Amino acid sequence: MIKKTPIICIAGKSESGKTTLIEKLIPELKKRGYSIGSIKHSCQKFDIDKKGKDSWRHRKAGAEIVVVASADKIAMIKNNDCESLDCLKKYFNGVDLVIAEGYNKENKPKIEIVRKASGKEPCCSGDSQLIAVVTDSYTGYKVPGFGLEEIDKLADFIERKYL
Q: Within a 10 A sphere around the Cβ of 112, how many other Cβ atoms?
A: 25
Q: Report the chain's mean pLDDT, rounded to a whole number.
A: 87
Domains detected in the chain: 7-44+81-162 (3.40.50.300)
Q: Which residue has the higher pLDDT, 45 or 24?
A: 24
What residues have CB less than 8 Å from 144, skipping those under 6 apart?
131, 132, 133, 157
Q: Looking at the chain, which runs of residues are DSSP E strands?
A: 7-11, 36-40, 65-69, 74-78, 97-101, 110-114, 130-135, 145-146
Q: If you average pLDDT over residues 117-126, what whole number do you get?
A: 77
| Residue-level pLDDT at 7 | 95
**Percent over 70 (pLDDT), the chain:** 93
Q: Which residue has the higher pLDDT, 51 or 27?
A: 27
Q: What burial class does residue 103 get, using C-beta atoms within 10 Å of its C-beta: 0-12 exposed, 13-18 middle, 19+ buried?
A: buried
Output DSSP code: residue 2.
P
In DSSP terms, 134 is beta-bridged to 113, 146
- β-sheet with 145-146: strand ranges across: 36-40, 97-101, 7-11, 110-114, 130-135, 145-146
**Percent over 90 (pLDDT), the chain:** 45
The secondary element (H helix, E strand) that includes residue 75 is strand 74-78
Output DSSP code: residue 49.
S
| Residue-level pLDDT at 133 | 94
Q: How does pLDDT run across 52-110, given as a tens digit for each residue?
A: 888 888 988 888 888 888 888 888 888 777 778 888 888 888 899 999 998 888 999 99
The secondary element (H helix, E strand) that includes residue 133 is strand 130-135
| Residue-level pLDDT at 131 | 96
Evaluate if residue 2 carries a pLDDT over 80. no
